[in-house]
A and B are shown apart, each in its own frame.
Chain A
Amino acid sequence: MATSDTPGNSLLSALPGAPEINPFDGVDFNDLERSLRRPRTLINLVLCGLVAGMTLMALVPLFSVIWMLLWRGGKNLSLALFTQLPPGPLEQGGGFGNAILGTMIIVLMAALISIPLGVLSALFMAQAPDGSTLASAVRFSAKVLTGFPSILAGVFAYGAIVLATGGYSAVAGAVAVSILMLPTIMLTAEDAIRMVPAKMKEAAIGMGATKTQTAIMVLLPTAFPGILTGIMLAVARAAGETAPLLFTSLFSSYWPFSGHQLNLMQPTASLAVLIYNFSGMPFKNQVEMAWSAALVMVLMVLITNLLGQALSRNQVRS
């Protein structure tokens, strides 16, 4: 309308020959009052209450687990737990320093295996032309692998690594865990790379970037926060896995060293297996230690996640 600069709702009156319209015709203003007797108000209230109630219910297991961990695991926390070796039966004191180190080593190695594999195959899936059979096949395999029973990953690594190398080892554990991390990283990283706006990719190619340069300089940095989220999810899952480690890295009451050398080819302790072993023992000291180990494990995952978030926030800002 040419008269759009006139203020207010003069649009109607501005139309020449428009009939007088009362916009409030047929509106019963008594209807505006809020009343519980009206069905829509009542239904709304009940459903809102239901949503709030269910939300609280969902929080109950989460908080009761955390509370239990803090309560049972927190009271025995001490520096010795982090520095000493696990106690034998009926022994007092001791710690699980070797299990903390072992978990870190196994998860780190698993990440070193699964991150390059996962991110690069995600790059392939995201960049393959639409309808690429290979990309669909890889994506399908990743989705199937997401629901892969963790104990089978352990059996696989037992057959592939333990039997081949002749013994339980941290390496075998890392391989088993990396199989579980891989699909999470692949699928989340693919999503993250797909989220990079097509126009950015076009800009890079228009500047004369090769596919590799486009991936390294544009796609991966832009998708980095999303990829990192996937890695963190995978690490969190990996740190808590017990079943695959029972067949592969087993357990050890000693530090994972031979002399002063880190030895990755011998049975290695991990927090998850320590909790599994100690929680079933008839000794109070060991059971208490299992609780503390559970708390430490949760805290380790939490700290890793917070670090990851801080890292990705920094990345976005720069």
Chain B
Amino acid sequence: MSGNRRRRLDASSLAGFWVGADRHTMSVEAIDVTQRDGVCVLRVAGGDIAGPRDWGEVEASTHAADVDGTVAIGATARYDFGFLDTTLTCFAKSGIVILCTFNYWKDGSARADYFTREFLYRRLREGGRDGAAGNVSGGISRGLDRPAGPTAVVSATDRGTVPLSRSAAGEKRTVPVIDTASITGRFRSCDRETPGFLELTVAGEARHLEITLRAASRPASHFGQRGDVLAIRGTAFGESVHGGPAAGFLAESQSSFQRLVLAAYLNKGLLAIDTFATFSDGSGRSAYRSRDHFYRVAVLG
């Protein structure tokens, strides 16, 4: 994901060393956020049994609370580990960062694409710490990546040495299925006054979701002309590498005037969608993040 070079936002509100509130996490243990020459840089440490793994530095796209905002309240970034693409979406609220990761396998290993959501608080106001001692290697970026699950005991000497793209016998493994029934259907905004999307339809299978969104017929809508319909392809993510019911989806689009990232997750029937919009039309509008909630009004036949 390219950096936000058009209108740089003040990322000092995000800067610092953020640590997971769950100190035993096998997901993201910490994020170091720094602002260098107006660019927001993240350095993530993935949690693992024998200690955190350094994911390295990546440039983030920052997002304000609205199109007139000058202060970053959220960010998106992507790590390409070769075997895995991890998209991060986050926003700050009440002293915490709420972080989602969308993890998309590229190595043919028997692991389902998965989603996480976690909460981090700011331990240190200044970022710029050194990376974690461990590295991303052997098809593992963090404990959750292991097919055996986070409770498996793997010795430090085993870490990063076992290729996961094929079984010991060399045959290709079957990738666990993500059941998209939980996230497919027609959804309507809980907020009838929303300036965002009024309705969306989600159809298709795990890596081939088709998402159709109808923008609100309101002057404040930034998603195109009033009542516009927007079609985006997306990917469903389960709760773990073992597959099962879809927990969320990620969808991205690039139009003539804006780039959209839709990061969605399901919570007790409520579909929460974070929209990260970046404008490329020279209008001077800030990239921004917004949140909408949807309830399902119809299951697709």
Whether A associates with B in a native complex is no
